[in-house]
Amino acid sequence: EPDNARQLYQVWISFNKEHPLLFIAHFNCSTLLQQVGDEQGGEAELKAALALKPDFAPACINLGSAYERRGMAKEAVDQWRDGVEKMSAVSGDAISYKTTLLKQISRVLADNQALAAAEVALNQCLDLAPDARDVSEQFVAARLSQCKWPMTPENSKVSRRQLLSRLHPLSVCAYTDDPLFQLAASDKYVRIMAPIEDRTTRFDRRSAPIETNRKLRIGYVSSDLRHHAVGYLMVNFFEEHDRKDFEVFAYYTGIKADDPIQARIKASVDHWRDIRGITDDEAAAKVAEDGIDILIDVNGHTRDARLGVFARRPAPIQVNWLGYPGTMGSSFHHYIVADDWTIP
């Protein structure tokens, strides 16, 4: 019981004001408070932990995240920057925490269109973690968004060739129109992000028969069924979808949203499934349980995609459409729905 544990921590704290590990008790108490929805109390405990040990990175990371949840992006970034400056030790843990802080800084800055500052943070991150593929991807994406050329400059720790080998498929689409380069980049990305393993095969329905005595079941997997360009494109599509011959399922993978576009989409589909907080195994199990005949990937290689769900092959036919008009480079997407504008 989180509340009972919290009370025990608070009693211990009240009797151990001089204990050298008091900061850890405050940190643990903050986690328990946040679990029961007491964000304000959780923040107070994190501040108490940092007052006792200013370079305690986990508390710094969590306090910045608490600010971000409250919509305080500037305060979150300032908190994480303060954490980076206070971490002077050179150790494996320190480098790992510093890298995490810089990633958080760059992510929030990029989300708020402060791309130049995000690039600086990512460059610092590359110095600490030159082998981090995700950092290389985001660094190139930040330069691309600013129209900075070359898109893959030399870094003191990472060569241009290494950056090119780590390009995200979406960045590759802007970098070159060479179809083989795009295919190779997507193929490599899929092998890393959604490897096929023995445990994934239990959801495999690629050979499942499609029954003809009922409506065809179509599932749309997307993070953008909300106030988003894709949401605006799809809302009328769902409202006009043929209901006589098709049963429509929507699997939502995006951020928490409660806007008119999402409300309209929810009202226009037969089944709405929120799969944000569950694993790929759990999501694939839901798709398989729903008996989906055609599963449509509306994200492709874009943010909050659930590539791992498709890798488990929970539907006999799996398709790429709309969100990412390019090659998936995977063995588990059967085709792309396109027209003369998408593929000239």
Domain boundaries, the chain: 2-173, 198-337
The answer regarding whether domain 198-337 maps to CATH 3.40.50.1370 reads no
Structure confidence at residue 250 as a pLDDT band (50, 70, 90): very high
Which tokens hold the place of 132? Answer: 């981090």
DSSP letter, residue 219: E
Average per-residue pLDDT for the chain: 93
The stretch 149-153 carries a mean pLDDT of 89
- In CATH terms, the fold of domain 2-173 is 1.25.40
Which amino acid, one-letter code, is at 82? D
The pLDDT of residue 5 is above 90: no
| Burial degree of 69 (CB within 10 A; 0-12, 13-18, 19+) | exposed
The pLDDT of residue 88 is above 80: no
* C-alpha separations of 179 from 169, 186, 294 in Å: 11, 11, 26
What pLDDT, in 10s, does the model give residues 279-324? 999 999 999 999 999 999 999 999 999 999 999 999 999 999 999 9
Reference 303, options 107, 74, 77; nearest CA is: 107
- The CA-based angle 342-303-163, given to 5 degrees, is 90
The helix-helix angle for 73-86 and 57-69 (nearest 10°) equals 170
Confirm whether pTM is higher than 0.85.
no
Structure confidence at residue 249 as a pLDDT band (50, 70, 90): very high
Is the distance from CB of 277 to CB of 301 less than 8 angstroms? no
Is the distance from CB of 10 to CB of 38 less than 8 angstroms? no
* C-alpha separations of 113 from 107, 197, 297 in Å: 10, 38, 27
Interatomic CA distance for residues 262 and 224, integer angstroms: 9
